[in-house]
Amino acid sequence: MAKPMTKTQLVAALADEMDTDKKSAGAALDAVCNLITKEVSGGGAVTLPGVGKIYCRERPERMVRNPATGEQFKKDADKVVKMTIAKALKDSVNG
């Protein structure tokens, strides 16, 4: 498996794609990340066309087990961020 792309590499690739400097590309990437964070943390969802949908889901209260001790305890309800991958991205990876 290849190493994941770092933020620096992503900013450089984005700058090349946009025909702009790295500073502008970095600012654009930060702005998009901040918008996604704000929307999802507020309970909304964000769809990135061709990539997928990022959303927040609530998990109910449940019983969990500590694997080291075997002790069971109740875990409170919480929220978890999920992402559904778009069919176009799946098809491009598999075909």
Looking at residue 1, its pLDDT comes to: 72
pTM for this entry: 0.78
Residue of 12, 77, 84 whose CA lies nearest to 53: 84
Q: Please check whether residues 38 and 51 belong to one and the same domain.
A: no
pLDDT tens per residue across all 95 residues of the chain:
789 999 999 999 999 999 999 999 999 999 999 999 999 999 999 999 999 999 999 999 999 999 999 999 999 999 999 999 999 999 999 98
Question: Where residue 82 sits, what CATH number does that domain have?
Answer: 4.10.520.10
Range of the domain at 54: 44-95
Q: Please check whether residues 50 and 94 belong to one and the same domain.
A: yes
**Which class for 36: exposed (0-12), middle (13-18), buried (19 or more C-beta within 10 A)?**
middle
Q: Please check whether residues 52 and 34 belong to one and the same domain.
A: no
Looking at residue 95, its pLDDT comes to: 83
CB atoms near residue 2 (< 10 Å)? 4
